[in-house]
Amino acid sequence: MYSETSKLLEKVEEISRTVIAKNAVKTDKNAEWPEEGIRALLSAGFGGLTVPLEYGGLGHGTETLSKVCEIIGQYCASTSICYGMHCVGSAVIASKVTRYQQEKYLTPICEGKHITSLSLSEVGSGSHFYLPQTKMISTTDGSYLIDGAKSFVTNGGYADSYVVSVVTEEPNQSSGRFNCIIISADSPGVEWGPVWAGLGMRGNSSRNLSLNNVKISDQEILGNIGDQIWYIFNIITPYFLTAITGAYLGLGRAAIEEIRAHVMQRKFSYNDKTIASSSVIQHKIGVLWAKYVRTKALIYYSTQRYDKGIEDSQLDLFSAKAEVADSVIDIVNEGMTLCGGSMYRADSNLNRMLRDARAAHIMSPTTDMLRIWTGRSILDQPLLTDT
Ligand SMILES: Cc1cc2nc3c(=O)[nH]c(=O)nc-3n(C[C@H](O)[C@H](O)[C@H](O)COP(=O)(O)OP(=O)(O)OC[C@H]3O[C@@H](n4cnc5c(N)ncnc54)[C@H](O)[C@@H]3O)c2cc1C
C-alpha cells in the first residue's frame, strides 16, 4: 500500500480536502477533538506512517511526516498536530520495541485501531520537557507505580495509550534515572483535568493528566531503564520537530492563500480598483512569500538530510522549527494588517490561523530552547545545562 510517497501524499490531500477541511471551523469553535479527520487518516492506512515496514508500518521518516502534516495543516492545524503526535508516539514505541509491545501497541497502531500520544510536559519543568518529576516507584511484586502530573497532553482523553516520561525513585540511588514508559488509557489511576480551552489549537485536547499510583509491569518500559534522554534526542525531538514544522508550514501556506484571495477581491467603489493593484500590497505579499518559501526550503533540506543520517543534521531541524514559528506568526500578523477590518472579525479564517500560529513558539522544544541548543552545539557547549 502506498509504495510511492507521491501516492500517499495525494491520498492525504484528498482526505484533507474532503473530510478535514469541512470540520476545521467547528473543531476550533467548539474546541472539538477532530475525530472524523483522525479516523479517516487511520482508516486509509496511515496509522503506522512512522512505524518500520518490518512491524507492519509504512516505514517513513521525518521528511514524509513533515509533508503529511504540512498538507493536513493547510486545512486544519489542530488535526495536523493531533495526528502528528500519534506518529511521534508510534515512532517512539517502535524504536526499541519488544515482542509484547509490538503485539499490544504497534500492530493495532498499524491497523488503524489504536491511537497513541506523547505525555512529557509537566508544570515543574515546563519547556525543559526532558526533566520529568513524575515518579516511577518499584514495588515488591516487581511491578511499578507511576505517580505525578503531566500537562498539555495532546489527544488527551481520546488516545488509547500515552508515551510518558518518568524518573525512577530507588531507595539506594542518589539521583533517579529518566525513563519512557507506555500507559494504557484505561489504567486505574489515570485522571484527566478540565477540557482543553486553548487560545488556539482548540481541537488538540491538550489536557492535564494526573497519574495516581498507576500500576504498570516492566513490559511497559520502553527500551532500558535510563533511556529517556536517548529517546528525547534520537526519536522524540526529530519527529516532534518535523511534525510541528510541517503543521505550521501548511498553516503559513493557507494564510498566504487567504490573504491573496482577500486582497484580490477587495475593491473600492470610489476608484473601482482592488487593493491587489497597489504596489505596496504587492511588495508586502512578496515579502511574505519569501518568508514562506525560505522556511519550506529549510524544512525540506533538513528533513532530507536527517533521514539520510547526515552528521549534525539535527541542528538544522532545530533551526527549521524555530524559523517556521517566526515565519508563520509574521505571515498571519501581517495578513491581519493587509486584510483590514474584515479579517478582524471573530469568525474570520485568519483569526483562527493567528490563534493557532501563536502556539508555534511555545510547543516544545520552544523557539528559545532551540536557538540556545543550536548556539550551544556550534560553540561546543553541553546542550542540557539549564541556565
Ligand atoms: C497546543 C499545545 C500542545 C502541546 N502538546 C503537548 C503534548 O502533546 N505533549 C507534551 O508533553 N507537551 C505538549 N505541550 C507542552 C509544550 O510542549 C511545552 O512544554 C509547554 O508549552 C511549555 O509551557 P510552559 O508554560 O511550561 O513554559 P515555560 O517553561 O514556563 O516557559 C515560558 C517561556 O520561557 C522560555 N524559557 C524557559 N526556560 C528558559 C531558559 N532556560 N532559557 C531561555 N528561555 C527559557 C520558554 O522558551 C518559553 O517561551 C503542548 C503545548 C501546547 C501549547
The yes-or-no verdict on residue 89 having pLDDT over 70 is: yes
Among 188, 203, 227, the domain-final residue is: 227
Indicate which residue's Cα is closest to atom 8 of ligand 1.
154
| CA pair distance 357, 351, nearest whole angstrom | 10
| 203 occurs within a structural domain | yes
The yes-or-no verdict on residue 352 having pLDDT over 60 is: yes
What are 160-177's pLDDT values in tens digits? 999 999 999 865 555 678
| 384 occurs within a structural domain | no
**Centroid of ligand 1 to alpha carbon of 26 (angstroms):** 26
pLDDT value, residue 169: 81
Same domain, 31 and 71: yes
Q: What is the mean pLDDT of residues 339-359?
A: 95
| CA pair distance 313, 293, nearest whole angstrom | 20
In ligand 1, the atom with minimum distance to the C-alpha of 361 is 49
314, amino acid identity: Q
Among 85, 115, 145, the domain-final residue is: 115
Say which CATH number the domain at 91 has: 1.10.540.10
pLDDT value, residue 383: 87
Q: What is the mean pLDDT of residues 340-364?
A: 95
Q: What is the DSSP letter of 119?
A: E
Q: What is the mean pLDDT of residues 111-139?
A: 95
| CA pair distance 92, 116, nearest whole angstrom | 10
Residue 6 burial (10 A CB sphere; 0-12, 13-18, 19+) = exposed
Closest of 319, 275, 312 to residue 295, by C-alpha: 319
Q: How confident is the model at residue 203 (pLDDT cuts 50, 70, 90)?
A: very high
Same domain, 233 and 371: yes
Same domain, 326 and 373: yes
| CA pair distance 326, 34, nearest whole angstrom | 26
pLDDT value, residue 175: 64
| 130 occurs within a structural domain | yes
330, amino acid identity: D
Q: How confident is the model at residue 121 (pLDDT cuts 50, 70, 90)?
A: very high
Range of the domain at 142: 119-227
pLDDT value, residue 174: 56
State if residue 119 touches ligand 1 by the CB under 6 angstroms criterion. Answer: yes
Q: What is the mean pLDDT of residues 90-96?
A: 98
In ligand 1, the atom with minimum distance to the C-alpha of 127 is 29
| 187 occurs within a structural domain | yes
Q: Could you tell me what percentage of the chain is helix, strand and coil, using 3-state DSSP and rounding each to the nearest 5?
A: 55, 15, 30
In ligand 1, the atom with minimum distance to the C-alpha of 201 is 1
Same domain, 213 and 351: no
The yes-or-no verdict on residue 65 having pLDDT over 60 is: yes
| 253 occurs within a structural domain | yes
Distances in whole angstroms, Cα of residue 52 to Cα of each of 62, 104, 324: 12, 16, 28
Which residues face 119 on adjacent strands?
164
pLDDT value, residue 385: 77
- CA 15 centroid distance within chain: 19
Among 227, 242, 265, the domain-final residue is: 227
State if residue 161 touches ligand 1 by the CB under 6 angstroms criterion. Answer: no
State if residue 369 touches ligand 1 by the CB under 6 angstroms criterion. Answer: yes
**Centroid of ligand 1 to alpha carbon of 139 (angstroms):** 32
Same domain, 40 and 107: yes
The yes-or-no verdict on residue 329 having pLDDT over 90 is: yes
42: Cβ contacts below 8 Å, ≥ 6 apart: 112, 113, 115
Closest of 361, 66, 321, 370 to residue 201, by C-alpha: 361
Same domain, 236 and 172: no
| 383 occurs within a structural domain | no
What are 20-41's pLDDT values in tens digits? 999 999 999 999 999 999 999 9
Closest of 259, 250, 252, 251 to residue 335, by C-alpha: 259
Total number of domains constituting the chain = 3
C-alpha cell at 203: 481541537
Site to probe by mutation for ligand 1, drawn from 363, 385, 386 as the one with most ligand atoms within 8 Å of Cβ, is 363
What three-state secondary structure class fits 94?
A: helix
Closest of 232, 224, 247, 302 to residue 92, by C-alpha: 232
| 157 occurs within a structural domain | yes
Same domain, 44 and 124: no
Same domain, 222 and 234: no
Say which CATH number the domain at 193 has: 2.40.110.10
**Centroid of ligand 1 to alpha carbon of 99 (angstroms):** 34
Q: The whole model's pTM is what?
A: 0.96
The yes-or-no verdict on residue 387 having pLDDT over 70 is: no
210, amino acid identity: S
Distances in whole angstroms, Cα of residue 223 to Cα of each of 96, 101, 227, 231: 5, 11, 6, 9
Same domain, 56 and 134: no
Q: What is the CA radius of gyration of the chain?
A: 21
Q: What is the mean pLDDT of residues 235-249?
A: 97
State if residue 127 touches ligand 1 by the CB under 6 angstroms criterion. Answer: yes
Same domain, 165 and 88: no
319: Cβ contacts below 8 Å, ≥ 6 apart: 298, 302, 370, 374
Q: How confident is the model at residue 294 (pLDDT cuts 50, 70, 90)?
A: very high
Query: What share of the chain has pLDDT > 70, as a percent?
Result: 97
What are 139-148's pLDDT values in tens digits? 999 999 999 9
Site of grid cell 512578496? 286
∠ CA 135-138-142, nearest 5°, is: 145
Indicate which residue's Cα is closest to atom 26 of ligand 1.
126
Same domain, 270 and 156: no
Buried b (16+ CB within 10 A) or exposed e, 11-27: bbeebbeebbbebbeeb
Indicate which residue's Cα is closest to atom 37 of ligand 1.
127
**Centroid of ligand 1 to alpha carbon of 273 (angstroms):** 46
State if residue 204 touches ligand 1 by the CB under 6 angstroms criterion. Answer: yes
Say which CATH number the domain at 363 has: 1.20.140.10
User: Strand runs (DSSP E) across the chain, as ranges?
Assistant: 116-119, 135-138, 144-153, 161-169, 178-184, 190-192, 207-216, 221-222, 267-268, 273-274
pLDDT value, residue 171: 58
**Centroid of ligand 1 to alpha carbon of 316 (angstroms):** 20
| 387 occurs within a structural domain | no
Same domain, 262 and 371: yes
Query: What share of the chain has pLDDT > 90, as a percent?
Result: 94
Site to probe by mutation for ligand 1, drawn from 178, 232, 364 as the one with most ligand atoms within 8 Å of Cβ, is 364
State if residue 126 touches ligand 1 by the CB under 6 angstroms criterion. Answer: yes
State if residue 368 touches ligand 1 by the CB under 6 angstroms criterion. Answer: yes
